[in-house]
Structure 1
Amino acid sequence: MHPRRSGQEVLMCDICESVFVQSHCELCNLNLCKTCVGEHLSDSSVRHNVVPYSHRKSTPNYRKCPKHPKRQSELYCENCEIPVCIICVSSGKHKGHDISNVLEKFSSKTQNLQKDLEELETRIYPRYQEMASDVQSEKAELVTIYGKLITAAEKQGEVWHQEITAIVNRQTSDIQEMKKKHLFTLNKNTDEIKQKIIELKQIISDLKSILKSNDVSLTSTYKSRNSEFRTLPLKVRITLPRFSPRKISKDQLNEMFGSLSSLSINTEHGDTMKSPGAVSSHSVKPLLDEPRLTAIIDTGYKQGLFSVSCISEDQVWTRGDTNTMKLFNLRSKLLTSIQTESGNRPEDITVTRNGDLVYTDYKSKTVNLVKNKHIQTMITLQGWRPRNICCTSSDDLLVTMDSDDRTQSKVVRYSGSTETQSIQFDDQGRPLYSHGYYNNYQYISENKNLDICVADREASAVVVVNQSGKLRFRYTGHPSITTESFDPVGITTDSQSHILTADWDNGCIHILDQDGHLLRYIRNTDHLSTPWGLSVDTRDNLFVADYHIAKVKKIQYLQTQC
């Protein structure tokens, strides 16, 4: 505190230090008396801002000038980007530089600091917390996931043990039966030989008696049986059975037992969060003002078109209200058609990273892979029925399903045919997804940020959870679009993490950013009639399954990158 001001509330002029303060220069942060104001304003090189002391603004804490410690850095050099004092400016060192009021710079910088603080507290820090929580949740699930793998391997081992034991028991029984038959045959042969021996002994005894008796009558009536016994009894020849073990290599055993896919650990660059001021402009910028229709594919389905899935930029699989799935090019040429193995209508279709078709069969409770036109069942469910399906960036399958009694719904992740994740409830134990009998369509897609997006028609909402299954948000439509109730059916995502969902009742497609904010929509006047299934190719072209007219429409809705 100034020695002249200690112990009292009256402030003195900072220049003469002898007269009470009446004014204040906000530029120089000096308290002035009436006399010193004129002297202070005489320096025309600086645009002072002298106001009555009572009208002064809150005084910031100025830094002392490092070159002139007795002066405060009340000015700011825009070229050098440092605070400076009046002496620094008048010395000529900053000649030709843009000099501004440090308070103005202070004000703008303070606003930027406040914006940074708000963004850190409300957006960035919570996302880091969410990521940390996701990792913890994933770690907590490891016991369950790997426990299921171990259980599956042990169950397969038990099956093998049971089969091997059954095989050994069958062969042991066969061996015992052979031994019994062999012994019976030998015993029968022995009995026949023993009977002949008894007869021979009797004949020998009789001959000796005749010879000893010298009886003419007995000797003359004797008839020889030697010729009969010269033919020996049948000799049984038996070829003994042999056991020939089949040699099986360890590789063959491993292949027959079942394969375990390798653990794949990929480190991906985290999403770059856009600044609040840049979010809307960057998200809206790549969207075309007017979407363009670039192709129409006539599928020929008579009873409606439900699903479309891109295999490339000019080939799409389609699924209508029949048991046949069709592959078309952009010229409506039918390239391939596949009928379901069961004869049932497929519930949904998707395409793997290798370009193979996968479809769900609700009635037979199966998920099936079509490879080289051959159908193989990948997954057979018990107590649940598969609805809709998508293939993820890691080539996993995400399947929506409901229970046999239709009182529960969930999303299950499969790696091959192995279940690795089940998503059904939120943190409070409430169901994430609706269930019902009539409109229980739950189309599904994975976003580029690995969020799992479900168009839950029964709930009239798009439900988005993160990779660990934690609820991020629900989108329930926007009043500017939904003259009717929001009715989401098909859903897909693009390279910019946009979420696109078809709104059946309102005849349009909503385009959302990755946080669920509406960016724009494509109306039925924009080439659409009754949009249902959606798919996006690698160049972000949108393919729409137009239900009633059974045509696929290719639409460009993003600006082409130069």
Structure 2
Amino acid sequence: MLNCALYPKNIPYIMFEPSDEQAAMQHFLVCGTEDCQKNGQFYCNACHRPLSEQCRDEHLKSPKTKTHEIVLYRHRKPQLPVEKCELHPTRTVDIFCRECQISLCSKCSTMKEHHTHTFDDLEDIYAEKYAAWQGKFSEIQKYFLPTSLGLKTNIQEDVTQIQKIMKRIRTSMKAEAESLKNLVDEVTSENIDHSHTMEKSLLKMLKSQETTYDDYIAYLWKMSEEFQEYLSITNRKLLFSKTLNIQPIPETTKPVQPVFTAGQFNKHDVAKLLGRVNVPNTNPENRKIQPMEVEATHKKSTEKQLEQSKEKSDMKQTLSLSSSVTKVREYSVPGVNSAWHVSVDKSGRLWVSDYRGNLVQTDLQGNLLQKIQTSGWQEGYHTATQDGDLIYTDKDKKVIYKTTLDKKIIEFIKTGDWKPLSVHSSCINGDLLVGMVKDKEAKVTGYSKTGKEIQSIQRDNQGQELYSEPHYITENINGDICTSDNNKRAVVVVNKSGQHRFSYTGQKSMFCPFGICTDVLGHILVCDYFSNTVHLLDQDGGFLSFILSPQQGIKRPRSVCVKNEKYLYVGQHTTNTVTVYKHLQ
């Protein structure tokens, strides 16, 4: 028995559905009617069991069950967990008392303390709480996790940016120091040269003085010899006739000794010369967190977009699967010999590519408007945006191009070492999803509308590679990223945060998936080249039906695309004809 004390107001604890891993083990839902093994795509909210289409019709015809509410399985009401009443153990708790705000059994409701009280069906309360909790879970998956991951990515980008800036600053510091060193060497060299010149001048002056005294000494020696002659006996008479006159000693000056005056500087002076790195004294800017309403839709809140969103929501409420698929029209596309991938722009014009890299655009009458030669082959390598532009990949040049309405082709994104294979422009927010490969690795990368990388998905929670060659890619209404990987023979689905939800591997031993798309009800449609069919899956990977098969003239389907909510465009390997079907009503 559930512990009601753990849940506010004594309402039973909500038990959620099986995990994605458990759901992935089951490819289709089996009807709950005994001896019926058909696909249970419907659900009886009264009996709480899945029903096939045949059993649904019988259910509604039976007098006992004709009033039961039957809905599509994905719209089912969750079943109330069984809880025995503590006061009446043979009874099941299934009533909610508004006044007392507690859950009761039917016998409790007849007790005098609940006399005149108002009661609600506990299953309805449970369904409301279940939906509320599922809504919170959806908010975590669609808003809180992606937003937090985006902020973390911004931080990582800031780390890279700071590292680049600091590296540039250190380089500038070294260059400035080297420049100062060169100036110091230059000034020192000039000072040394000046000292040599000064020394040479002083030595020259002293040499001149030395010569002066050499000459004077020679003069004295000569005078001394003359006086000796005068003093001899024979020449004594000369003493009376000659006048003794000696020249004075020449005067010279002592040189003024050079003095070195040391420069007046310290570490602080040098630091001022060289500069210093610092953080400006400004308040840091808060990281921008988009409000949940904006982040959840990634749309600008203009009246036009809100109106479009409401129209789609209203249409979703009224649409359902048709009992049979109806062919609406066919396009014979000039300029290609097959239709390996189809994109439809907002005006209904087609972009079609073949295995030779021809990419052409036609109008609603099938007339050729534009032709581009690409390196594409068996990939979904082009997509039409909400603005009417075309985005396509060039795996050889590792570039994603954008073709504008005026037919200009511009280089939009460079993917580095990775070869971009498939691309999809989100109908939710206009962001891009790109499947790419490098050597033996593969991943899905998300880009914003402006071309900024915002997400990279490569491995699951166990570190296993999710993809081998993501040839085709699309997005579901709940933000799931659905990839058709022919090498893995699987449709690989992750949620918006990149967490693996399930992998669909077909209904037979051989499954060869190519083109993939989703519709407004969240169905996943994928081409199976091997069985000449188009599989219809529910949002959780449950197989619903072969929506197209050879009985409808399908042969080697390669591409699928949904336009205007209920029209399915199908391209085939063997012909350049694109066929349009109506699969929702």
TM-score, scaled relative to structure 1: 0.54
Are residue 61 (structure 1) and residue 87 (structure 2) matched?
Answer: no
2:335/2:371 contact within 8 Å kept: no
Q: Return the alpha-carbon distance in structure 1 between the equivalents of residues 128 and 544 of structure 2.
A: 21
Q: Which residue of structure 2 aligns with residue 466 of structure 1?
A: 495
- C-alpha distance in structure 1 between counterparts of 2:371 and 2:147, whole Å: 44
- Find 1:396's aligned residue among 400, 409, 431: 431
Which deviates the most, 295-304 or 422-431?
A: 295-304
Per-residue deviation, residues 43-78 of structure 1 (Å, max 9, x unmatched): xxxxxxxxxxxxx97693354347xxxxx97xxxxx
The reply on whether 1:358 has 2:387 as its aligned counterpart is no
Counterpart CA distance in 1 for 2:359 and 2:166 is: 39
Matched, 1:375 2:409: yes
> Is the alpha carbon distance of 1:355 and 1:157 closer, same or farther for their aligned partners in structure 2, counting shifts above 3 Å?
farther
Aligned positions of 1:237-386 closer than 5 A: 265=291, 267=293, 286-300=320-334, 303-312=337-346, 314-340=348-374, 347=379, 348-371=381-404, 372-386=406-420
Instruction: Confirm or deny that 1:418 pairs with 2:452.
Output: yes
Q: Which amino acid aligns with 1:362?
A: K
C-alpha distance in 1 between matches for 2:109 and 2:431: 60
Question: What is residue 578 of structure 2 aligned with on the other side?
Answer: 552
What do the CA deviations read for 1:93-137 (whole angstroms, capped 9, x no partner)?
A: xxxxxxxxxxxxx9xx8xx6468658967x864663464366553
- The answer on whether the counterparts of 1:494 and 1:540 sit within 8 Å (CA) in structure 2 is yes
Counterpart residue number, 1:257: none
Equivalent residues of 2:401, 2:409 under 8 A apart: yes
Q: What is the correspondence of 1:217-228 to structure 2 with a 5 Å cutoff? A: none
CA RMSD of aligned residues (A): 4.0
The whole-number CA distance in structure 2 between the counterparts of 1:269 and 1:137 is 11
Correspondence for 1:141: 149
SS in structure 2 opposite 1:267?
helix
| Match of residue 524 from structure 2 | 499
Distance 1:284 1:504, change over 3 A: farther
Q: CA deviation at 1:387?
A: 1.0
Which stretch of structure 1 is more off in the superposition, 361-370 or 299-308? 299-308
C-alpha separation in 1, matches of 2:167 and 2:576: 48
* Structure of higher RCO (CA pairs closer than 8 Å, 6+ residues apart): 2
Amino acid at match of 1:537: K
The one-letter amino acid of 1:519's match is L
Shift of the 57–537 alpha-carbon distance from structure 1 to 2, 3 Å rule, reads: closer
**Aligned-partner residue type, residue 396 of structure 1:** D
Unaligned runs of 5+ in 2: 1-88, 92-105, 174-287, 298-315
State percent identity of aligned pairs.
Answer: 25
Equivalent runs, 1:6-155 vs 2, <5 Å: 60-61=107-108, 63-65=110-112, 113=122, 117=126, 125=133, 128-129=136-137, 131-132=139-140, 135=143, 137-147=145-155, 149-150=157-158
Deviation at 1:493, TM superposition (A): 1.5
User: How far apart, CA to CA, are the structure 1 residues paired with 2:167 and 2:384?
Assistant: 33
| 1:216-242 C-alpha deviation (Å, 9 max, x unpaired) | xxxxxxxxxxxxxxxxxxxxxxxxxxx
Q: Deviations over 1:180-212 (max 9, x none)?
A: xxxxxxxxxxxxxxxxxxxxxxxxxxxxxxxxx
Please state whether the residue corresponding to 2:136 is helix, strand or coil. helix
- The equivalent residue for 1:532 is 558
Structure 2 CA distance for aligned equivalents of residues 357 and 351 of structure 1:
5
Residue 210 (structure 2) aligns with? none
| Structure 2 length-normalised TM | 0.52
Between stretches 153-162 and 126-135, larger displacement belongs to 153-162
Q: Match for 1:452 among 457, 481, 488?
A: 481
Whole-angstrom CA distance in 2 between matches of 1:370 and 1:394: 19
* Matches of 2:508 and 2:385, distance apart in 1: 37
Asked whether 1:488 is paired with 2:517, we answer no
Structure 1 stretches lacking a partner, 5+ long: 1-55, 67-71, 74-81, 85-105, 166-261, 272-281
Query: Are the structure 2 counterparts of residues 358 and 142 from structure 1 closer, same or farther at C-alpha, using a change threshold of 3 Å?
Result: closer
Matched, 1:513 2:538: yes
User: Which deviations, in whole Å up to 9, do the C-alpha atoms of 1:221-278 show, x marking residues without a partner?
Assistant: xxxxxxxxxxxxxxxxxxxxxxxxxxxxxxxxxxxxxxxxx9865617989xxxxxxx
Partner amino acid for 2:513?
P
| Alpha-carbon distance between aligned partners in 1 of 2:484 and 2:345, rounded to the nearest angstrom | 22
8 Å Cα contact 1:301/1:320 also seen in 2:
no
Aligned to 1:475: 504
Deviation at 1:296, TM superposition (A): 1.1
Offset of residue 384 of structure 1 = 1.3
What's the offset of the Cα at 1:510? 1.6
Paired with 1:324 and 1:488, the residues of 2 have a C-alpha distance of: 22
- 1:307 is displaced (CA, Å) by 0.7
Structure 1 residues 375, 290: CA separation in 2 closer, same or farther (over 3 Å shift)? Answer: same
Work out whether residues 147 and 295 of structure 2, in 8 Å CA contact, stay in contact via their aligned partners in 1.
no
CA distances 1:363-403 after superposition (whole Å, capped 9, x unpaired): 1111111122222211122221111000012111110111x
Aligned counterpart in structure 1 of residue 467 of structure 2, from 424, 434, 443: 434
Kept after mapping to 1: 8 A contact 2:489/2:511: yes
**In structure 2, what residue type is equivalent to 1:352?**
T
CA distance in 2, matches of 1:127, 1:474: 24
SS in 2 for 1:495: coil
* Change beyond 3 A, Cα 1:269–1:394: closer
SS of the residue aligned with 2:293? coil
- SS of the counterpart of 2:551? coil
Does structure 2 conserve the Cα–Cα contact (< 8 Å) formed by 1:313 and 1:539? Answer: no
Return the alpha-carbon distance in structure 2 between the equivalents of residues 536 and 128 of structure 1.
29
Change (3 A) 1:152 1:62: closer
Question: 1:204 corresponds to which residue?
Answer: none
**Paired residue total:** 348
Cα distance in 2 between the residues matched to 1:299 and 1:324: 11
Instruction: Decide whether the 8 Å contact of 1:484 with 1:506 is kept in 2.
Output: no
- Pair 530,145 (structure 1): closer, same or farther in 2 beyond 3 Å: same
Deviations 1:342-364 (CA, angstroms, capped at 9, x unpaired): x6669510011111111111111
CA change 1:83–1:57 in 2 (3 A) is farther
In 1, distance between residues paired with 2:296 and 2:433?
Answer: 22
Report the AA paired with residue 516 of structure 1. Answer: G
Which residue identity does 1:359 align to in structure 2?
Answer: Y
* Structure 1 residues 415 and 160: alpha-carbon distance in aligned structure 2, compared to 1, 3 A threshold: farther
**3-state SS, counterpart of residue 153 of structure 2:** helix
* Contact 1:293-1:555 at 8 Å conserved across structures: yes
Contact 1:370–1:376 (8 Å) recurs in 2: yes
SS at match of 2:145: helix
Distance of 1:401 and 1:508 partners within structure 2: 26
